[in-house]
Chains A and B, each alone.
Chain A
């Protein structure tokens, strides 16, 4: 059985990345390849990060450092995300940010590099937060071929700048993640899903009202006049909230797969042919009011929109509402969006981004343009 040796893996990776820097060879860093659709179109030679080791799945699992009572797990970046989540589930724990998988085969490193969170993102209590909120530490190899370690394996750590969290959502523009430490949490004792009919306005008022009260809401989802609410926590808290919120109870056997399908964008809403936009807004923002179909999550903070409207119209509306819009998925990538799929940065922020990029990737060969054309 081929084992997994982190330092050997990092050495091999460092050699490859240094060579790319020396040769000015653009690379497309890829874990499981499940999120090629996300970000600006990948460019450069594909570097399959999983292929740099011949470790078996069992050997990768053996390299995981996990003590459930510490609420921390440290895993190689090339470990399949599903393997990590299965390992946690056996111990009654989970990644509270409920990362989308989209398809089978994604890796832990790809999950962190994409920085995406699922339905539980704006839950109440300890499970609140996006992916970056659960990152405790990370190792990476950068374009200079340096193996670097930031953060750690403990809950509280303010020594040095928090670069491990900067890697969350960095889309590989600073380097290839080789190992991550994540905070994990216990699975809720009880979970129930309620469904009720309401208009978009009514649902926004409801979910925002609940957010200000001590209720164990762990996810909300509104589409086409139907609002799904998931409650998670102590049994007593969940049953009390069920009585208070009202609505029709969804059978557990139906509810869990439904939320997983939402997480992975497998619900019918996500299968259309129109461009899919992700609007991140202050949760209490009013209705987006643009032509198209919406799917609203995170108590109003995440609003999906399928529409044929021009990018500038969608962006302007998101900005006017105090948020930002990402062109999340399009069927035809040949016509590249200008100036890119993400909302442009202010000149001051862009200047800071560029200086950081130069430090980690002086030749600009790591996932060039994937996050912003200038990076």
Chain B
């Protein structure tokens, strides 16, 4: 059932700072329409030119500015939807703290499993007067990771904070000509936004921290044009991967940032193990890693190795205390990985949540949450506190 043509703007409330749109409205077009009022919609996934707000709600999409401005969850006030039984229902509202349990939090990121979204009201925020971006080079990935920690420890919350490893830089630079340092082990992009004086103050603080953290080169965007050029590399990482390789497989694990160095070392080991290369782009501020596994989709063996590579990355994400998906969702592809992240009891509750909204189980059947026997077959059962949950469940 395509919702693409539910693409009308219901309206913008410039005083209340909200926009109400149908789910098929594109992410970027909300900001374009709000610009007349000096407002914009903050979450900006790389795909914002094409992706719809309905899809953003289904996946709880992020973007490069979500450390400071939050995810879809933090910027959607109200969702109007139809239940599978055809009843109109509203989650959240224009007033804060809608009565009852926070079902809006369940619907956001629910991958179309709970209800059919027909209307979304988002929060708009004032367009900052100015944004400037710092581009810093580091001799090791660990040093770049430490620099991120140092920025946060200094009390700074950059508007954007992204990292690209050397393979990533060498992948995107010939394509995007962003001016990245091809000799750096990692390039960090760090943005400040706000009023002119505020940005000047923050850029100064950030530069000091980055230099003290061992940046080998620090460059500040001198113009809006230059700032956009710095970002062009990062935002074009996926198309660049598509050009450099017959196919790529983008992963989406999130880990506590302190394990970044260890994670990238682990991925390097996997490159050897699976015989495929894997440049990395990384939402450094919030620990969301996007390894791009380059493979040949015309070669079944290469496809198989790419899938195994991806599964190994997700398992490592869970091992480091993170998650199998930060913003791209589970769908069908990561059902097995769900078994690694959750125990049987939690998966059972997820099925109950699905049942609470959609008792007949007809919306996107089979997605997002694996059947319990699937995990049992995989041997992905977790033993918790010495006790095997669902001990009576048959295993085969």
Q: Which residues of A contact B (CB under 8 A)?
A: 7, 10-11, 67-72, 92, 115, 121-122, 124-126, 128-130, 132-133, 146-150, 152-163, 165-166, 168-170, 173-174, 185-187, 189, 208, 211-216, 233-237, 240, 280-285, 298, 301-302, 322-324, 326, 342-346, 348-349, 352-353, 355-356, 359-360, 371-372
Closest-by-CB residue of B relative to A132 is: B102
Residues of A within 8 A of B70 (CB): 126, 128-129, 133
CB <8 Å contact, B201 and A234: yes
Residues of B within 8 A of A165 (CB): 73, 102, 105
Q: Which of B334-368 contact A (CB under 8 A)?
A: 334, 337-338, 341-343, 345-347, 349-350, 352-353, 355-357, 359, 368
B198 in the interface, Cβ–Cβ < 8 Å?
Answer: yes
Q: In the assembly, what is the distance between CA of A219 and CA of B210, in Å? A: 32
CB <8 Å contact, A282 and B94: yes
CB <8 Å contact, B95 and A282: yes
Residues of A within 8 A of B329 (CB): 158
Q: Interface centre among A10, A67, A348, by most B CB within 10 Å?
A: A348
A154-B322, A156-B286 are known contacts; what are 12 more A-B pairs with Cβ within 8 Å? A69-B150, A69-B153, A72-B256, A163-B353, A165-B73, A166-B103, A168-B102, A212-B15, A285-B95, A301-B96, A326-B99, A346-B89
Q: In the assembly, what is the distance between CA of A212 and CA of B198, in Å? A: 18
Which of A158, A170, A326 sits near B109, CB closer than 8 Å?
A158
Given A322-B95, A356-B353: A70 in contact with B325 (beta carbons within 8 A): no
CB <8 Å contact, B69 and A156: no
Residues of A within 8 A of B235 (CB): none
Given A129-B70, A165-B102, A166-B101: A69 in contact with B128 (beta carbons within 8 A): no
B38 in the interface, Cβ–Cβ < 8 Å?
Answer: yes
CB <8 Å contact, A69 and B149: yes
Residues of A within 8 A of B368 (CB): 160
Residues of B within 8 A of A237 (CB): 194-195, 197-198, 201
Closest-by-CB residue of A relative to B13 is: A284
Q: In the assembly, what is the distance between CA of A235 and CA of B155, in Å? A: 13
- Least distance between A329 CB and chain B CB atoms (Å): 16
CB <8 Å contact, B256 and A70: yes
Q: In the assembly, what is the distance between CA of A26 and CA of B345, in Å? A: 24
CB <8 Å contact, A214 and B126: yes
B324 in the interface, Cβ–Cβ < 8 Å?
Answer: yes
- Least distance between A211 CB and chain B CB atoms (Å): 6
Given A155-B287, A235-B201: A133 in contact with B73 (beta carbons within 8 A): yes
The size bracket of the interface on B is: 35 or more
Q: Which of B219-277 contact A (CB under 8 A)?
A: 254-258
- Least distance between A305 CB and chain B CB atoms (Å): 14
Closest-by-CB residue of B relative to A10 is: B385
Residues of A within 8 A of B3 (CB): none
Which of B102, B195, B200, B258 sits near A169, CB closer than 8 Å?
B102
Residues of A within 8 A of B106 (CB): 161-163, 166
- Contact stretch, chosen from B59-67, B135-143, B170-178, B299-307: B59-67
Residues of B within 8 A of A356 (CB): 101, 352-353, 356
CB <8 Å contact, A148 and B349: yes
Given A124-B125, A161-B106, A236-B197: A152 in contact with B95 (beta carbons within 8 A): no
B323 in the interface, Cβ–Cβ < 8 Å?
Answer: yes
- Least distance between B155 CB and chain A CB atoms (Å): 4
- Per CB-CB distance, the 9 closest pairs between chain A and chain B, nearest first, are A323-B95, A155-B286, A355-B356, A186-B155, A156-B326, A236-B197, A69-B149, A165-B105, A237-B198
Closest-by-CB residue of B relative to A344 is: B99
Q: In the assembly, what is the distance between CA of A301 and CA of B17, in Å? A: 12
Between-chain CB contacts (< 8 Å), 22 pairs: A10-B385, A11-B385, A72-B256, A125-B157, A152-B254, A153-B321, A154-B286, A154-B321, A155-B66, A156-B327, A157-B323, A158-B328, A159-B334, A165-B73, A165-B102, A212-B37, A212-B38, A233-B198, A282-B95, A348-B87, A356-B101, A371-B100
Residues of B within 8 A of A371 (CB): 100-101
Which of B93, B105, B195, B326 sits near A157, CB closer than 8 Å?
B326
CB <8 Å contact, A148 and B345: yes
CB <8 Å contact, B96 and A130: yes
Interface string of B98-123 (1 = CB under 8 A from A): 11111101101110000000000000
Residues of B within 8 A of A326 (CB): 99
Given A129-B70, A212-B37: A301 in contact with B156 (beta carbons within 8 A): no
B371 in the interface, Cβ–Cβ < 8 Å?
Answer: no
Which of B69, B89, B197, B322 sits near A349, CB closer than 8 Å?
B89
Q: In the assembly, what is the distance between CA of A285 and CA of B17, in Å? A: 12
- Least distance between B129 CB and chain A CB atoms (Å): 6
Q: In the assembly, what is the distance between CA of A71 and CA of B66, in Å? A: 14
CB <8 Å contact, B71 and A156: yes
CB <8 Å contact, B350 and A156: no
Q: In the assembly, what is the distance between CA of A283 and CA of B77, in Å? A: 12
CB <8 Å contact, B96 and A348: no
Closest-by-CB residue of B relative to A300 is: B16
Interface string of B294-336 (1 = CB under 8 A from A): 0000000000000000000000000001111111111000100
Closest-by-CB residue of A relative to B151 is: A69
Closest-by-CB residue of A relative to B106 is: A161
Closest-by-CB residue of A relative to B337 is: A159
CB <8 Å contact, B95 and A158: no
Closest-by-CB residue of B relative to A278 is: B97
CB <8 Å contact, B356 and A359: yes
Q: In the assembly, what is the distance between CA of A170 and CA of B103, in Å? A: 11
B49 in the interface, Cβ–Cβ < 8 Å?
Answer: no
Which of A157, A161, A168, A301 sits near B110, CB closer than 8 Å?
A161
CB <8 Å contact, B99 and A157: no
- Least distance between A12 CB and chain B CB atoms (Å): 12
Q: In the assembly, what is the distance between CA of A71 and CA of B152, in Å? A: 8
CB <8 Å contact, B60 and A352: no
Q: In the assembly, what is the distance between CA of A161 and CA of B346, in Å? A: 10
B52 in the interface, Cβ–Cβ < 8 Å?
Answer: no
Given A160-B346, A214-B194: A70 in contact with B385 (beta carbons within 8 A): no
Q: In the assembly, what is the distance between CA of A170 and CA of B369, in Å? A: 24
Which of A162, A185, A186, A343 sits near B105, CB closer than 8 Å?
A162
CB <8 Å contact, A282 and B16: yes
Closest-by-CB residue of A relative to B334 is: A159
Closest-by-CB residue of B relative to A174 is: B101
- Least distance between A121 CB and chain B CB atoms (Å): 7
Given A71-B152, A161-B106, A237-B194: A212 in contact with B323 (beta carbons within 8 A): no
Residues of A within 8 A of B353 (CB): 161, 163, 356, 359
Residues of A within 8 A of B211 (CB): none
Which of B96, B287, B321 sits near A122, CB closer than 8 Å?
B96
Residues of A within 8 A of B343 (CB): 149
CB <8 Å contact, A211 and B321: no
